[in-house]
Amino acid sequence: MPNRYPIAKAVRAAYQAGEEDEALEPIVLVNGGGQPVGRIGDGDYVIFYDIRGEREIELTSAFVAPDFPHFERAPITVHFATMIEYASDLVGRVAFPPIREIRNTLSEAISQHGLKQIKISESEKAIHVRYFLNGKREEPFPGEHHVVIPSPEVDDYAKTPEMSAAGVARAAIEALDDPQADFIAVNFCNVDVVGHIENRAAVLRAVEEVDRRVGEVVAAAQARGVTAVVTADHGTVEKWLYPEGTVDTGHTDSPVPFIVIDPTLAGITLPEGGTLTHVAPTLLHLLGLPQPAEMTAKSLLPEGIARERRRAMLVIADGWGARDDAYGNMILEAQTPAMDRLQREWPSTRLEAAGEAVGMPAGTVGNSEAGHTHIGAGRRVLSDRVRIDQAIADGSLAQNEAFRWAMEGAKRDGTRLHLLGIISFYSSHGSIAHLKELMKMAHEIGVPEVYIHGMLGRRGERPESGAIYTEEIEKEAERLGSNFALASIIGRFWSLDREENWDRIEKTYRWLVEGKGRTVSAGSP
């Protein structure tokens, strides 16, 4: 007797065994003979439908990079298409090519005036400070230097919620001691990273560690006469509970704090209603630099305040949202004397960091990519998600050249099409709606075999949401026909790495190509 929705049942069984979505061990569908179904093989076509991209580079490289030293690959040629461009040097078709680097950003304006800038983060967030803050530019600007402190090598940051914040703070203070460093940007990532873990004690420790380190670097800036600006890229743990009490480990739609620490500005009032786009113009104002015409937002400082060129520091408390309601608010529950004092004693306001304010669909939460991009851009930049959603709404997705190339190629060659990516109602890496549109398109084109390989990660989702969405895709595959199947599922911890943990990527590759993982049969209940 057929076993309906076998992958969803296997995911629920994994929950009962103590596993959770993000670190879910690979699960593989097998046929009646025990052979893995829908493995990626020679001549097959793959559409990696994730957006965002920085976590998708390593797995994509395992399939398309001509020189790949990290592990032995199968002797197969795979035709690859991606939803967006993950990296400019990766071979493959791109459905939504990037709006090329955003020009005249904060970092470019600083560089154009011959100033030295230093950007400091730990490796977990290095790409955000290096790439997104720079308007998606891959190379540093002249006079720009990066300091990356390695993040702890652990399988669960709840074990080390302090992460490498102490090292980031030390590097920031060393940069402050360099009189040639005109602008310093520093990111403390603990609140965002640990906030995605369902561990209250660890989250509180992460918040308190960031508060401690922000206090240290701001005090060091004050001692050296450097203006400090403290803000965040989005919220996370200030809204950590759903109304019924279950944990929400995702990002939020809350605003973020914005504080200016400078004795010459004590007592001024910062306006309400600003967004992250106002950060770059304000920093240029503080640095005494002109604002590029492309920056449509304005400085938050009063217009009458003239500034002479001086040094400035930007401190990003990644994931630190601002919310007054105490329910589920881990920021208010934690001990945060430094941030409390800074907001009480210095000019401060709140900035919108989600939805349309940062180029996302209305009502959606913020994320690190959009947050850092808008902090540096000084203008609103439409996200890839908005472009994709618009293409779905106006019907143009069905004519997308890259998708048709893959689907028509699989039909012409009589081979398989694989749809690979996140399975989530709303993730910064993608949407189940995008997957369904691709399934519908493949059905209309008549692709002979379509296999879905999903990734799970409960960030901002309710408990057991992975099984719910997995079953939803299995039902959709059943509706479309016997040539569709959800062939396998894995936790995003393994598949969406960005720290060169190649053992995780190899595990994912073996799952996709060889069917390595726990097996479940469609032929038995």
Greatest C-alpha distance within the chain:
78
| 483, pLDDT greater than 60 | yes
Least confident piece of the model among 180-194, 267-281, 295-309? 295-309
Contact 83, 50 (CB under 8 A): yes
Residue 150: CB atoms within 10 Å:
12
Least confident piece of the model among 1-10, 282-291, 466-475? 1-10
pLDDT tens for 72-130 read 999 999 999 999 999 888 989 999 998 777 999 999 999 999 999 999 999 999 999 99
> For 131-255, where are the E strands, in sequence order?
144-149, 181-188, 227-231
How high is the pLDDT of residue 225?
Answer: 96
Residue 99 C-beta-side C-alpha neighbours within 13 Å: 12
How high is the pLDDT of residue 303?
Answer: 84
Contacts of 325 (CB under 8 A, 6+ apart): none
Distance of CA 280 to the CA centre of its chain: 21
Residue 22 — pLDDT band, cuts 50, 70, 90? confident
Contact 96, 107 (CB under 8 A): no
- Give the tokens for residue 389: 């959603």
How high is the pLDDT of residue 251?
Answer: 94
Residue 523 — pLDDT band, cuts 50, 70, 90? low
In angstroms, rounded to a whole number, what is the distance separating the alpha carbons of residues 377 and 294? Answer: 9
For the segment 499-509, the average pLDDT, to the nearest whole number, is: 96
In angstroms, rounded to a whole number, what is the distance separating the alpha carbons of residues 284 and 342? Answer: 21
Contact 4, 478 (CB under 8 A): yes
| 433, pLDDT greater than 80 | yes
Sign of the torsion formed by the C-alpha atoms of 31, 35, 37 and 38: negative
| 290, pLDDT greater than 50 | yes
- Block residue for tokens 């969406």: 496
| 525, pLDDT greater than 60 | no
CA distances to 272, 282, 399, 457 from 144, in Å? 32, 20, 42, 35
For the segment 501-520, the average pLDDT, to the nearest whole number, is: 97
How high is the pLDDT of residue 522?
Answer: 79
Q: What is the pTM of this model?
A: 0.72
Residue 462 — pLDDT band, cuts 50, 70, 90? confident
How high is the pLDDT of residue 460?
Answer: 61
- Block residue for tokens 């069917």: 515
For the segment 293-316, the average pLDDT, to the nearest whole number, is: 91
Query: Coil, strand, or helix at residue 154?
Result: coil
Residue 182: CB atoms within 10 Å:
22
Residue 98: CB atoms within 10 Å:
13
For the segment 351-360, the average pLDDT, to the nearest whole number, is: 95
Q: What is the mean pLDDT of the chain?
A: 94
Residue of 491 and 1 predicted with greater confidence: 491
| 385, pLDDT greater than 90 | no
How high is the pLDDT of residue 2?
Answer: 60
The domains found in the chain, sorted by start residue, are 6-97+386-521 (3.40.1450), 106-379 (3.40.720.10)
